[in-house]
Structures are given as C-alpha cells and as structure tokens.
Structure 1
C-alpha cells in the first residue's frame, strides 16, 4: 500500500495443498519426450510467484479466512483487465488437466496450471498476478481500503492517519440483513 506494489509469494507457500498439481495426457510413446516436457513445466513453475486477489470485498468467508475475522483490511487495487500478469481463475476439478498436444509451450502450461483451482475455492472469485519477481508494481496507486469492523481501535486510528496523508479513501465494513457493506469513514478534520 505504501509503495504501490504487491507482494508475490512462492506458489509452494499458498494455502491450497493442491496448488500447482496437474494431470496430463500424452499419446506419444516417446518416454524421453514426455519426461523432458514435464521437466520443462516444472522448471517454469519454479519461476512463478503469485499474488492472489479477489474481485469482491463482501464475502463473509473471505473476511473470516483472510482478514482475521473482520479485524484486517481489504486493499482495493486497479489493474487493467488486459494486463499480461493478471489472470482470472478457472474453477473445476482437483487437478488441472494438461494436454501436451494442445499446450506445447512450458511457460504457458505453467500459467494455465496456476490459473486453475478446485471448485470449492470459487467463493474467492479470485484473480491472480502471475509474476517472476517478489513485488508487482501497481499500474495505479491504491485509492481505497476497507477495514474490518473488528479492527483494533488504535490500529484503525493509525491506519486512518496514514490513509489521509496518502490520499487513500478509508471505508469500514458493516454487516446487516443484506450482507456486508462498506461505509466511508470521515476524515480526521471532519470529526471536530
């Protein structure tokens, strides 16, 4: 948030135990060809770092699982849909299906594998940044954050001061019969 960049983790550190796993079909009887292709895919997978994002802020499960039970924060970022590092997740079976006859470029095969997850994760409405570096520079500065309504008051006040100085809008979650909403928090000067 402060440096307008996002951290991209090593994919082996993500919480899905099936992350990066795949099954393949290959008609060739050439064992050397198949083995070399699998090695190339494994090599490309090692180069990928991931930042997981969601297209929504109003999921109870996301706040419970990833924002410490509404004590954390959601950071709204603006990344163009056509950015080469951004992929929309596809949800399906436990393993990503790879057909060597359809996907012959190991780098693209690795990207395909990391753009697929088991259907049980679909509530995340996930987009991913697939990147080769530790940090992804945001094309646009952060303009809004949404804090959980259970955030520690001291932390909330500190965050509000920082956001005001960086010209970032700050909102706070609320839960009602219609679900989760986010209300704008007044600037510090507006309180007096």
Structure 2
C-alpha cells in the first residue's frame, strides 16, 4: 500500500532521516495537533482511568495519508505547498498499521474488562472533521519505526522554490525519483507534472 508522509523542509534533517535511514519518527499521542486525541469515556472511576492512561502513554504514532492529490494536506502539512510528500510502501496487513475511523463519538468503555487491553484502539478513531486526511497510522511503542521498504519517490510541492528543488535533487540518492507536483486549479487538486 502506498502512503504519504507530508513534510515541511525547513527542518530538512527529519525528512532526510525518513529517506536515508528508512524510518519514521513517531510522536507521543499528546503532542499531536488534534486536542481530542486519545480521549475516551468510561464510568468506572479513577482506578480504571489510571490503568487506561498508563497503557495509552505507551503508544507512539506516525500519521500518514493515502492521498497524494489532496489540496488541504499540502496546505496544512507541507508548508503551504512549499514542502514535500514522501511516498512509503507499507504492506496493508502490517499489524502496526491502522486505518483511522472517523466518528462523532470517542471510544466508550462499557465493561471493566476493557482495562486489561492495550488501548491501541484509542488512536484508531478521530472526529469526522478530520476525514479529509484519509489517514492511516503507524501505532507502535518505539520512537522510530523501521520501514519495510526503501523510499522510491519524493514529491515536491508546487510552490517549492527552484533553489530548494535543485538542492533536494542533488542530495537525494539516485534511487529516489523526485516528482514535481502542479496545481490543477480546476479540480482543486495537486497532481504530478507529466
């Protein structure tokens, strides 16, 4: 499955780390941009909630998208179309990969036995307004997640400066195809130049 990691290139080192070291950095849940991340509802009291919170804090997340042509993703996560999208190939059956479900509701614990689970599922649900992201997540316990396949393509935002594009082309390995994106203003999408 092809997924995309959108990046600003102002901190080029993190982008190069993905490409050259074949790994992605995974954030703690409480540092993500959704203030409702990791929330849940239970009616079992502080002891139950404490167990859930301990397990919730064990997980780290790397957000990816299945969409390359989404105008908003380029705007929000790639420096207003001046950044890049790194194409990752991850097997769909990978146990660390989860497709995000969009729902108006938080996870609800209705049974006290829920406290013995690992609570990875808390990070597989987001509210509906985030559905444009078409998000998949690597949910793991390590700070870095080793990618199963080498990076083959990097897409340049349509507003990236020619100087930065030239630098990226010169420093990336020859095995990585660099693809310039362009704006299709009629459809409101960002598409590869042909």
1:171 aligns with 2:179: yes
Q: Look up the SS of the partner of 2:53 in the other structure.
A: helix
Q: What CA RMSD, in Å, does the superposition of the two structures yield over aligned residues?
A: 1.7
In structure 1, C-alpha distance between the alignment counterparts of 2:158 and 2:141, rounded to whole Å: 35
In structure 2, C-alpha distance between the alignment counterparts of 1:98 and 1:157, rounded to whole Å: 52
The structure with the largest alpha-carbon Rg is 1
**Aligned ranges 1:88-107 → 2 under 5 Å:** 88-100=99-111, 103=114, 105-107=116-118
> Which ranges in structure 2 are unaligned for 5 or more consecutive residues?
1-18
Match of 2:160 among 151, 162, 174: 151
In structure 1, C-alpha distance between the alignment counterparts of 2:129 and 2:109, rounded to whole Å: 20
**Aligned ranges 1:40-51 → 2 under 5 Å:** 40-51=51-62
Q: Number of residues paired by the alignment?
A: 174
Paired residue for 2:193?
183
More off after superposition, 145-154 vs 59-68: 145-154
TM-score (norm 1): 0.84
Question: What displacement does 1:13 show?
Answer: 0.7
TM-score (norm 2): 0.83
1:112 aligns with 2:130: no
- 1:1-57 Cα shifts (integer Å, max 9, x gaps): 11010000111110001111111256xxxxxxx543322211111111110000011
Question: What displacement does 1:98 show?
Answer: 2.9
Q: Look up the SS of the partner of 1:23 in the other structure.
A: coil
In structure 2, C-alpha distance between the alignment counterparts of 1:152 and 1:84, rounded to whole Å: 38
Question: What displacement does 1:172 show?
Answer: 1.2
Q: Look up the SS of the partner of 2:167 in the other structure.
A: helix
Alpha-carbon contact 2:52-2:115 (below 8 Å) kept: no
Alpha-carbon contact 1:53-1:127 (below 8 Å) kept: yes
Paired residue for 2:137?
128
